[in-house]
Chains A and B, each alone.
Chain A
Amino acid sequence: MEMFLMVLCMSMFGLAIAAIAFGAATRPESSSSRVQPELRPVKAVAPGRFFTDQVIPPAAPRTHVPTEILLTQIENHVRLEQAAAESFLESPSHAQLHTKTTSAFVN
């Protein structure tokens, strides 16, 4: 009789443990009740460099010429080039054709 009661108690205890474990496994998660871990912004990942160990240096900042000045330089360049071409047409020669320009646009 004692043996029977002991086996019964252990069976009931095991069943209770199994029921608790089953309940815990199948319980729906509620996000509101849980504290979400704070997500920190991740740094942008640099693009992978394949087949090279060469590190590309960041581009040097360019001196920004205003568009109006750039257009004036282009216009002056065209005038200088036309003058050079006119000189070539007046007396065609290799030297006249390839005279160096003082144009700020190309120098």
Chain B
Amino acid sequence: MAPEQSELLKDLTAEEVQRILALGARIAVPSGASLFHLGDPADRLFLIERGRIRLTLPMQVRGREEDVVVEERTSGQTVGWSALIPPHKFTLAATAPLETEVIALPREELRKHFAANPTVGYKITLNLAVVIGHRLQLFQAMWLREMQRTVEKHSA
């Protein structure tokens, strides 16, 4: 997918997209490699250009810590928005299940660019709010379904 079609860069002009992309760097993530770990400082936001990223959280399974997939993001989607949200720490771990290419956008460069171009900053912030809001609503629904099952189990 072309970067301009990315969920984060929606409604930006071609010129605005190019300026944003010029701030970042393409990173090739080999299959099975980690993009970031839980608790790492989040100083970069990632646009997935090609491939897939698995977002995982640790879970104790039979006394062993296992990474359990919470979400999967694919090309055109964004991972690592903790880079723009304090306290700037990754709250999930990210790995590539197959060879993946991402564009890494440094937080500090983005912040300076937004300060100089508030319209671009506003559009990207709105797009980011959509991404965050969607995840929140998704997990609210998932949480409620789990709670419903727990209630049914306890009242059976």
Given contacts A71-B61, A89-B134, contact A84 B68 (CB under 8 A): no
- On chain B, the residues within 8 Å of A85 by CB distance are 137-139, 141-142, 145
**CB of A82 within 8 A of chain B?**
yes
B148 engages A98 (CB within 8 Å): yes
A78 to B139 CA separation, bound complex (whole angstroms): 11
Interface footprint category on A: 10 to 19
Q: With A67-B61, A67-B64, A89-B137 in contact, is A82–B71 under 8 Å at CB?
A: yes
Cβ of A81: which chain B residues have Cβ within 8 Å of it? 142, 145-146
Say which residue of A74, A82, A101 sits within 8 Å of B138 (CB atoms). Answer: A82
- Does more than half of chain B's interface fall in helix, strand or loop, or is it mixed? helix
Contact B62 A74 (CB under 8 A): no
Flag whether A106 is at the interface (Cβ < 8 A).
Answer: yes
Majority secondary structure, A binding face: helix
CA gap between A85 and B131 in the complex, in Å: 15
Write the nearest CB–CB distance from A98 to chain B, whole angstroms. 6
**CA separation between A89 and B133, bound complex, in Å?**
11
Q: Which of A4-45 contact B (CB under 8 A)?
A: none
Q: A106 vs B146: C-alpha distance in the bound complex, in angstroms?
A: 10
Bound Cα distance from A71 to B141, whole angstroms: 22
C-alpha gap A78/B69 in the complex (Å): 7
Q: Are B149 and A106 in contact (CB under 8 A)?
A: yes
The answer for the CA separation of A79 and B141 in the assembled complex, in Å, is 13
Q: Which of B41-96 contact A (CB under 8 A)?
A: 59, 61-62, 64, 66, 68-71
Task: Give chain B nearest CB distance to A82 CB in angstroms.
Answer: 7
B156 adjacent to chain A (CB < 8 Å): no
- Nearest CB of A to B55, in Å: 11
The 6 closest A-B pairs by CB, nearest first: A85-B141, A88-B141, A85-B142, A85-B138, A81-B142, A75-B69
Residues of A that sit less than 8 Å from B by CB = 67, 70-71, 74-75, 78-79, 81-82, 84-86, 88-89, 97-98, 101, 106
